[in-house]
Amino acid sequence: AEAGSPRPDPREALRAATMEVKVGRLRGRAVPVWDVLASGYVSGAAREELLAEFGSGTLALPALTRRLTAMIEEAEEAPGARPQLQDASRGPREPGPAGRGDGDSGRSQAEGEGEAEAEEAAAAAARRQEQTLRGATMEVQRGQFQGRPVSVWDVLFSSYLSEARRDELLARHAAGALGLPDLVAVLTRLIEETEERLSKVSFRGLRRQVSASELHTSGILGPETLRDLAQGTKTLQEVTEMDSVKRYLEGTSCIAGVLVPAKDEPGRQEKMSIYQAMWKGVLRPGTALVLLEAQAATGFVVDPVRNLRLSVEEAVAAGVVGGEIQEKLLSAERAVTGYTDPYTGQQISLFQAMQKDLIVREHGIRLLEAQIATGGVIDPVHSHRVPVDVAYRRGYFDEEMNRVLADPSDDTKGFFDPNTHENLTYVQLLRRCVRDPDTGLYMLQLAGRGSAVHQLSEELRCALRDARVTPGSGALQGQSVSVWELLFYREVSEDRRQELLSRYRAGTLTVEELGATLTSLLAQDQAEAGSPRPDPREALRAATMEVKVGRLRGRAVPVWDVLASGYVSGAAREELLAEFGSGTLALPALTRRLTAMIEEAEEAPGARPQLQDASRGPREPGPAGRGDGDSGRSQAEGEGEAEAEAEEAAAAAARRQEQTLRGATMEVQRGQFQGRPVSVWDVLFSSYLSEARRDELLARHAAGALGLPDLVAVLTRVIEETEERLSKVSFRGLRRQVSASELHTSGILGPETLRDLAQGTKTLQEVTEMDSVKRYLEGTSCIAGVLVPAKDEPGRQEKMSIYQAMWKGVLRPGTALVLLEAQAATGFVVDPVRNLRLSVEEAVAAGVVGGEIQEKLLSAERAVTGYTDPYTGQQISLFQAMQKDLIVREHGIRLLEAQIATGGVIDPVHSHRVPVDVAYRRGYFDEEMNRVLADPSDDTKGFFDPNTHENLTYLQLLQRATLDPETGL
């Protein structure tokens, strides 16, 4: 309740709070919330996200317990599914009587108090057992716990043990049949046997073998699969053939070759390699070279005739490509084998080579895009592809590059379609390829010289590009695409394409009829089995759910519209989509999860989702006095057919309006859409407009009162006025001013706050004072000084600066110096007596610290102002300086830990702190350092407590500090 003190660890609050769990292993009336969160019902990623939301205050406790209840019910409903770990605080529980399930359906309402007391007693015994095993530590010489003390409890709940084995050991220990030393011996033996088996397991990577533990670290092998491998319940071959593994070890097919109409036999197509097609004059040399470079950069040069995948040197030796392009292909192949950093000699990735200007940006973008289109970014150090989040963490990809690839301009469309003479992205050209039934490879099908596509006038082509349709099925279901794009989709055969184009050119088929024929054709193909697995988005666009509260309220709202709305964060959306696509999350479970998210958002005071339903267009509010909730709705209300038909008609009109506005584009000269065509729809749903303003413009456009040109003019004016106002807004950073747009890019200012600033509904001062902003601009208090018992007045405490305490002999010089370095590295040296925050030079000038330690403090202050890379001259962060050995690792860890404990990692380039995910993306932090700080050893406890004579982390020492009521320090 006392503001200003260091925020408590949210885990403590969750250990104290309880919830009722009605089904499954954790069933009970008062289960600690933390135990549910730490159980196998919740994935690691979901746990981190929920913990962050709860810790920041954006997710209230009731909303969190609802979310956890939904997860448990989903897991228990899934056929054959069991959570990986049982309840982490209650220990094992014996199953109930025969015939009684985990659920509460078989429990009568009148269950006696005796059962409840027995359950409580069992739970208390389990908690005592947990306390004992958490307090007992062991050391092992191999595996993930190697060389450090680890609690017996943590080993029991690691991936080394199956649930059944863990339950058995816990039960034997609880019964006294297995003492602690014997339990430790059993666990040690288990780990050694598991690691011995795993050491013999390795997978074939792109250029060398990849260990099972590396695939686990990269998030490709889950703990269960790793255990199955170690225990022999799954073979290496079985795991290698899993889609989720194969994709990252091998990738998916690149553009492997071409299919050319045979001259000697009409109707037959000849299969050729890219190089062969170039030498036969079928492909231009430039077109062929970029396709071959893309092959080399995605793993292998392909011989589609013999179905071979070869390294560049092997391909030259086998005659698949000629020696005259060997050097160019070897250069592209470095995207797989790694580039050498000329300054450090280290192996670096394609993206890192682009950042260091070792490869031309446009060339690098082509190769990187080809990697992503064929399975994912390649990690050259470990010789396999990695998931996007791992690529971010390892510095192989960033947010800016993601934006470039997601919205490519003509400059980044580096691949030429020889049929249509268009410049395309790799994924667009790959989508036009057909699969070779003999090899499964994707082949670019070339049209003959007399093809109808070559005879189309530019006017007829433009009409096809301008006309848009929305397929009702297939991978493009629900998306607005041009008829031209659909025409070259791989599901449309070359013969059918020629026939349709000939009729269109002759005037016997209109653009609209051509579009309708293509959508019908795709629907027919989708209905036939054997078509490629559809994108999960298709199914979600077709499925509907009832939404009872908020902007999306309705009885049949497309599930995709809810998922794509502002109610769901980007990270949560990706996770849910991945789970649904892989089949681990059923549709009913997904809709329950989404319902919980909407209810949480609507219950939060003042909270509104950023975007309204993106597929249904604006909806008029209900009658006066009727809220968003369903509490005031009678059961019979809205059940009539008339209302349902009216709703359907309104929804259809809104979809037509959306289709029109998605098809219309505009260009602006300022802001986030600067210098590129953007759809009017995207501008309407951007942060430039408030929800009310957007609804008003959509309503006027729908009513015909605002034509498209006028709407574009209004939007252009809104953007220009907004950017003009934002250009005058800047915040005070640690050493210089920070623009509002930089804080938005860093995820510190949300789109609504940015809009409020631009529109003047929030002042600069108001935004600066927001906790979520202040934390990153100023940080929270470091250890500012000391309180010493006054000699002249018992009971009174004297306030001193760290330096003053050192000179008075209250603190040892070493203790004082590391605390002052931590102050300098977190922003400012502090004078707690006068409540001043000063740079090192200002502090020396003011006498707050002495000149004899100025150099040491200036060195620490570089964690704020930035270190200079001696090789490039660029400004780099504390963590990057540690990586380049510009600062001793132990010293760097102390300073970095102090930054994190006082608000977050500092970005010296932009002069403010950044959220953890942004720090990962910008290369200011990584997974290994996170592990070091999360589980510090004595070597990394760099701060001394003069009261207890213990070595502590900065956070531990900060938690022992008290708040000065006068200054808040």
Domain boundaries, the chain: 201-249, 255-446, 448-534, 729-777, 785-960
Residue 200 to residues 23, 189, 209, 249, Cα–Cα distance (Å): 40, 17, 11, 18
pLDDT at 556: 66
Percent of the chain with pLDDT over 90: 27
Least confident of 331-335, 420-424, 587-591: 587-591
Grade residue 79 by pLDDT with cuts at 50, 70 and 90: low
Q: Show the tokens assigned to 301.
A: 């040069």
Instruction: Determine the average pLDDT of the residues in 739-761.
Output: 83
pLDDT at 108: 46
SS3 394: coil
Regarding predicted confidence, which is higher, 496 or 296? 296
DSSP string, 325-351: GHHHHHHHHHHHH-EEPTTT--EE-HH
Least confident of 567-571, 682-686, 742-746: 567-571
Grade residue 810 by pLDDT with cuts at 50, 70 and 90: very high
Question: Highest mean pLDDT range out of 207-211, 528-532, 535-539, 719-723?
Answer: 207-211
| CATH no. for 255-446 | 3.90.1290.10
785-960 matches 255-446 in CATH topology: yes
pLDDT at 826: 96
Instruction: Determine the average pLDDT of the residues in 469-488.
Output: 74
Share the mean pLDDT of the chain: 82
C-alpha 340/C-alpha 168 separation (Å) is 51
Are the C-beta atoms of residues 471 and 523 closer than 8 Å to each other?
yes
SS3 435: strand
Grade residue 578 by pLDDT with cuts at 50, 70 and 90: confident
Are the C-beta atoms of residues 380 and 336 closer than 8 Å to each other?
yes
Q: With b meaning 16 or more CB within 10 Å and e meaning fewer, what string describes 737-756? A: ebebbbbbbbbbbeebbbbb
C-alpha 753/C-alpha 737 separation (Å) is 18
291 DSSP β-pair partners = none
pLDDT in tens, 857-873: 999 999 999 998 888 88
pLDDT in tens, 680-716: 998 998 878 878 888 889 988 988 888 898 999 999 9
943 DSSP β-pair partners = 952
Q: Show the tokens assigned to 689.
A: 């407009």
Q: What ranges in 531-666 are assigned the alpha helix state H? A: 536-542, 559-563, 570-582, 587-603, 641-663
pLDDT in tens, 152-182: 998 998 878 878 888 899 999 998 898 999 9
Has residue 76 got a pLDDT over 70? yes
Has residue 629 got a pLDDT over 50? no
pLDDT at 619: 36
Grade residue 19 by pLDDT with cuts at 50, 70 and 90: confident
pLDDT at 550: 75
137 DSSP β-pair partners = 151
Grade residue 800 by pLDDT with cuts at 50, 70 and 90: very high
Has residue 634 got a pLDDT over 70? no
Regarding predicted confidence, which is higher, 450 or 914? 914
Regarding predicted confidence, which is higher, 308 or 565? 308
Domain 785-960, CATH 3.90.1290.10 — does that match?
yes
Has residue 644 got a pLDDT over 80? no
Grade residue 186 by pLDDT with cuts at 50, 70 and 90: very high
> Side by side, which strands form the sheet with 434-435?
269-273, 255-261, 442-445, 434-435
Q: How many CB atoms are closer than 10 A to CB 771?
A: 11
pLDDT at 113: 61
Has residue 625 got a pLDDT over 80? no
**What is the total residue count of the chain?**
969
Question: Highest mean pLDDT range out of 210-224, 719-733, 946-960?
Answer: 946-960
Least confident of 121-125, 571-575, 702-706: 571-575
pLDDT at 687: 76
Has residue 184 got a pLDDT over 90? yes
Has residue 733 got a pLDDT over 80? yes
Are the C-beta atoms of residues 85 and 40 closer than 8 Å to each other?
yes
Instruction: Determine the average pLDDT of the residues in 188-195.
Output: 88
Place of tokens 């609209």: 512
Least confident of 2-11, 28-37, 412-421, 548-557: 2-11
